[in-house]
Chains A and B, each alone.
Chain A
Amino acid sequence: MDKSPRLWTGFAFPGTAWLLALFAVPFYAVACVAFGSIDPIFRDAVPRWNPLTWDFSESKIIFSSLINGPLQGVAIRTIIYVVCAMLLSFLIGFPVAYFLARHAGKRKLMYLVLIILPFWVNYLMRMLAWVNLLSPSGLFSRFMNILGVHYNWLDGSPITVTLGLVYGYIPFLILPLYATLERLDWRLIDAARDLGANSRQAFRLVTVPMSKPGLFAAGVLIALPMSGDYYTNDLLSRSPSTEMLGNQIDFFLNASTQPQRGALLVLALSIFLLIFMSFYLRSTRQHARETTR
């Protein structure tokens, strides 16, 4: 009888090992680089594996730069771009997921495949295709010219970068949202309608609250990669006026003599996202409690 709890605990081993190997250890390595030093001859990062020897001097520089220095602008811009891209993704993605879950009928599978199909192509290739389409002589730009919209999409435009983020990550929003909406008990909507709610009220008071876990999960799923994204800006803008934190991380880690600054920015971003993540966990736990009551 005593063995039973141990047995059940043992089932957590693969997951725990997975987390340790692919999250905790790499994250610790990043911290060791961030609080480590630089080889004086070869200028490589020298991680300090013993936390007691960690050097925090560089972290003070980076964090003050983020709060009130050269990196402040890029941090604020990243937040703005991610928030705008998320809002836009919800505006586009929610109706699509709702349609799939509620109205697609027999063609549901076909629509799902059609949504996913473009994303079988590598992200880089898709973005490069957009560079072609958005260039002044590209098909999209020429079409927009016919409509009277004369805009240089690739001229370091925040709009293009934000739209690029939406395009790149929206399937990661639609799919979990669809999974949540599909499991909704639609009889509750019908009940709301029977009790006098119009369709808008039923949507606002029943559908949206019941979709909360999916909305949060989808939000977290796209917010995390968007916040560290650097390729979208690299491919669609390449202008300093649209740089995101991911670009600075890429620069410090891959092209500078101060890789520990890149590691510190990774940590800073992780801490920021952790706040977002804990909010998500708290909400889902609260929602689970409410539904089991």
Chain B
Amino acid sequence: MTMRRRDFLRNLVITTGGITVGGSLLAACGGASSNTTVDGLAIGTPEKPIKLPVTTDAIADGLASETGTLEILNWADYHNPESIAIFEKQFGVKVTTSIYDDEAAAIAKLRNGTFKPDLIFGMSATGLAKLIAADILQPLNKSYIPNFSNVITGLRNPYYDLDSQYTVPYMIYGNGVGYRTDRFDKNAFTDENGYDVFWDPQFKGKVGVLDSPRDTLAMAMFRAGKFDANTSDAAVIKQAGDDLIAMREATNPKVDILAYTEIPAGNRDVNFTWSGDLFTALQYLPENVSPEVLGFWYPPKTITTNDFFCITKTAKAPVLAHQLINFLSDTDNALLNRTYVGYQPALETITVDLLISSGTIPESLIDALVTPERYDAALSQVTLDPAVDALWLDQWTAFTAG
């Protein structure tokens, strides 16, 4: 069975919680966030952005497009086949797709040569660190990607890849609360206590949270006013675990990544989820149900994440790979791509007004959009020290094991 994008997201936040970045348990108990570089793995954090090492040159300017085939590696259903067909016609080439269903496994297959794509879609910052450590990527030549200027300003020089040497952002999403506007008062969500609904017994059986330790434990921390999404403070992590157990007793929430089907189907009134899920949910609304029944509360302080494109060092069609990145970073093409994928392209040119006027999202979902301002104010998840990671996982086990 092929893993879909949201399975990836579940795994991603777990994976980001697991890479060695140095520090020790002693440091972990001190309450500081982990970051930086150890054991050959280069990881940037918002506080300590990283310029990745370059071991080879980017392709030269002005090269002609290759003919033949461009091979891409992507998650299932994470690009619009119609967009790719237009690209094929425009450039007179064929695009073939290999699917991956687990980032770590995909990187293992890239390392051992099972996958030999030209272009990779949808890798995370953690994946990037591994790809760099394995020396799999080539630096980009942005003269082939003029549409890079469409990218959200704050992502043109991201902390995980200063100067965007290897990556161009693809999709962006934030953590928040999806709900049914026909069953739920929007005013229940205030900046201070928006998460309280998950602990309110009157909503028992009608709520869901993400099957994602880092996201859901962080949500409990945010509710308690602790806004370090990468905390190594054992007491804070333990309190978050205890709070989730209290939530379990109060509302017996579903723990999965199915908000995009369960909310539109009417099986849940409220779900802690990724903003992109609400856009995907539009495709799952039963007939004769207005899209306006879908709402989203975007907390003022929450986690916002993005993924990106990158090109392999062994690419046989590197120019075409650059051109496809450029193609999908074009505003119109990105809009078309979004109609299939659901998630929000990380482009500044795709504004709230444009999305509303293009009729692709209802006004009730304006709050699910990641605006440049929201991205600038966002909290980030970074890799944890294994010892700290174990603290998070222990609390998650205590919650899920009942």
In the complex, the answer to whether A154 meets B267 with C-beta atoms within 8 Å is yes
Residues of A within 8 A of B102 (CB): 254
In the complex, the answer to whether B401 meets A243 with C-beta atoms within 8 Å is yes
Residues of A within 8 A of B213 (CB): 256
B 99-112 to A, binary, CB cutoff 8 A, 1 in contact else 0: 00010100110000
Distance to closest chain B CB from A254 (angstroms): 8
A239 interface residue (CB < 8 Å to B): yes
Residues of B within 8 A of A136 (CB): 267
Q: Which of the listed residues B39, B253, B400 has the most CB atoms from chain A within 10 Å of its own CB?
A: B400
- Measured in the bound complex, the distance between the Cα atoms of B400 and A71 in whole Å is 9
In the complex, the answer to whether A239 meets B398 with C-beta atoms within 8 Å is no
Q: Can you name the residue of chain B whose Cβ is closest to the Cβ of A42?
A: B130
A43 interface residue (CB < 8 Å to B): yes
Distance to closest chain A CB from B107 (angstroms): 7
In the complex, the answer to whether A241 meets B393 with C-beta atoms within 8 Å is no
Residues of A within 8 A of B386 (CB): 38, 257
B10 interface residue (CB < 8 Å to A): yes
Q: Can you name the residue of chain A whose Cβ is closest to the Cβ of B38?
A: A40
In the complex, the answer to whether B19 meets A240 with C-beta atoms within 8 Å is no
Residues of A within 8 A of B399 (CB): 240
In the complex, the answer to whether A41 meets B40 with C-beta atoms within 8 Å is yes
- Measured in the bound complex, the distance between the Cα atoms of B266 and A137 in whole Å is 10
Q: Can you name the residue of chain B whose Cβ is closest to the Cβ of A156?
A: B252
B58 interface residue (CB < 8 Å to A): no
A 222-257 to B, binary, CB cutoff 8 A, 1 in contact else 0: 000000000000100011111100011001001111
Q: Can you name the residue of chain B whose Cβ is closest to the Cβ of A77?
A: B402
In the complex, the answer to whether A239 meets B39 with C-beta atoms within 8 Å is no
In the complex, the answer to whether A156 meets B254 with C-beta atoms within 8 Å is yes
Distance to closest chain B CB from A186 (angstroms): 47
Distance to closest chain A CB from B399 (angstroms): 6
The interface size bin for chain B is 35 or more
- Measured in the bound complex, the distance between the Cα atoms of B265 and A117 in whole Å is 31
- Measured in the bound complex, the distance between the Cα atoms of B265 and A135 in whole Å is 10
A190 interface residue (CB < 8 Å to B): no
On whether A43 and B104 interact (CB within 8 A), knowing A155-B252, A239-B253, A240-B248, the answer reads yes
In the complex, the answer to whether B398 meets A255 with C-beta atoms within 8 Å is no
On whether A247 and B19 interact (CB within 8 A), knowing A238-B255, A241-B248, A257-B386, the answer reads no
In the complex, the answer to whether B14 meets A248 with C-beta atoms within 8 Å is no
B389 interface residue (CB < 8 Å to A): yes
Distance to closest chain B CB from A60 (angstroms): 14
- Measured in the bound complex, the distance between the Cα atoms of B255 and A248 in whole Å is 13
- Measured in the bound complex, the distance between the Cα atoms of B402 and A241 in whole Å is 5
Residues of B within 8 A of A152 (CB): 205
Would you list which residues of chain B between 1 and 28 have a CB under 8 Å from chain A? 10-11, 14-15, 17-20
Residues of B within 8 A of A154 (CB): 267
Residues of B within 8 A of A51 (CB): none
Would you list which residues of chain B between 96 and 135 have a CB under 8 Å from chain A? 102, 104, 107-108, 130, 133-134
> Which one, B134, B265, B394, contacts A70 given CB within 8 A?
B394
In the complex, the answer to whether B104 meets A238 with C-beta atoms within 8 Å is no
- Measured in the bound complex, the distance between the Cα atoms of B134 and A44 in whole Å is 14
Residues of A within 8 A of B393 (CB): 256-258
> Which one, B130, B205, B267, contacts A135 given CB within 8 A?
B267
A73 interface residue (CB < 8 Å to B): yes
Q: Can you name the residue of chain B whose Cβ is closest to the Cβ of A74?
A: B401
On whether A41 and B20 interact (CB within 8 A), knowing A241-B252, A248-B401, the answer reads yes
Distance to closest chain B CB from A153 (angstroms): 11
B224 interface residue (CB < 8 Å to A): no
A 145-159 to B, binary, CB cutoff 8 A, 1 in contact else 0: 000000010111000
Distance to closest chain A CB from B129 (angstroms): 9
B256 interface residue (CB < 8 Å to A): yes
Residues of A within 8 A of B266 (CB): 137
In the complex, the answer to whether B19 meets A43 with C-beta atoms within 8 Å is yes
On whether A71 and B104 interact (CB within 8 A), knowing A43-B15, A135-B267, A239-B253, the answer reads no
Q: Can you name the residue of chain A whose Cβ is closest to the Cβ of B19?
A: A43
| Given contact pairs A238-B256, A256-B18, a sample of 20 additional A-B residue pairs in the complex whose CB atoms are under 8 Å apart | A40-B39, A43-B15, A70-B398, A70-B401, A71-B397, A73-B402, A74-B402, A239-B253, A239-B255, A241-B248, A242-B402, A247-B400, A248-B397, A251-B400, A255-B211, A256-B14, A257-B18, A257-B19, A257-B393, A258-B18
